Structure 1
Amino acid sequence: MGDIAPRELISLADDEGNSVTVNVLGLDPGWSAGLDAEIVVRTPFVSGRIDLVLYASKLESWANALNRLDADEDIAWMEMSRRPSIFIQLTGEHDCPEVVVEDESGSMVTVRVPLVPPDDWIADHKQRLQQVMKYWVPPLSA
């Protein structure tokens, strides 16, 4: 693994200062089948972060979510887990895409972030996912 580890699985931001990122922090020391990660939300009004663990199956479900977004469908990612969930609505309440980060089982907080990502954001995120999978999934499988 001589390459630099890819860190940003998701990076959605706009010129208004709104952003939602999912950063891979490294292999989970407590469980070799998981990656430590975090969701970071930043807006001019509210900012926060929450830890999560990603598994190969969650990365695969993100690939499926990206394909649905590419087909102009809204998505829910990690919705059935007991950890944070991410929803992306292509046309939200403000006539622009919205990212909703929900942590019902932990903090019981939901944050809705309207933002206008660049035109090529889905293709960019497919490439980000490929880089993360190429770098991190082989060690998860070992």
Structure 2
Amino acid sequence: MAEEPVDLIHLEGEGNRVILRITGKEARGGPDEADALVAEFHVDTPFVRGSLRTWLFAEDLRQWQRALDMLDTGQDIAWREGTRAPWLFIELDEDDDRCRVTIRDHAMSLTTVTVTVPLTDTWFDDAYQRLDLAWKTWPLDED
């Protein structure tokens, strides 16, 4: 039976939405290659709408955990920066409960999009639960 998709990242409000949805697990080609999660960024605003496919590995999920911890302490984050995968930046707005979310695809479309969304304290509990659900739904071998 196929597993239901899991939104690892779900930021939404004020008409804007950024989601990173995991839709399945894919066995990689060779015996030395780790399995990957198949995922897709979705960006939806009144002005721009698009999606971008990506793969996630165990190290990506561990780095997302660290990024969440940093965000939770009030620090801006750069997730997967310097890799071949799309990069995600979240910059906190100190004056209100909003953040700027930037997705940069430097490898394929050469496109960058920035969306402003609310980011409340309750979002963090949900984000950690989403990460736990991703690990439980699609366990990955350590790379």
Q: TM-score range by the shorter chain?
A: 0.7 to 0.9
- Say whether residues 1:11 and 2:10 are aligned partners: yes
CA contact (8 A) 2:25 2:37 kept: yes
TM-aligned CA distance change 1:48 to 1:3, over 3 Å: closer
Give CA-to-partner distance per residue, 1:49-86, whole Å, 9 cap, x none.
Answer: 00100001100000000000011000001112112111
Q: How does 1:1-142 map to 2 (within 5 A)?
A: 5-14=4-13, 16-31=14-29, 33-91=35-93, 96-137=98-139, 140-141=140-141
Distance 1:85 1:112 in 2: 12
* Letter of the 1:21 counterpart: I
CA contact (8 A) 1:18 1:114 kept: yes
CA contact (8 A) 1:83 1:106 kept: no
Distance 2:61 2:135 in 1: 7
Across the aligned residues of Structure 1 and Structure 2, the Cα RMSD in angstroms comes to 2.2
CA contact (8 A) 1:89 1:98 kept: yes
Runs of 4+ in 1 over 6 A off after TM superposition: none
CA contact (8 A) 2:5 2:23 kept: no
Count of aligned pairs between the two proteins: 137
TM-aligned CA distance change 1:12 to 1:95, over 3 Å: closer
* Letter of the 2:100 counterpart: E
Unaligned runs of 5+ residues in structure 2 are: none
- Normalized per residue, the structure richer in strand is 2
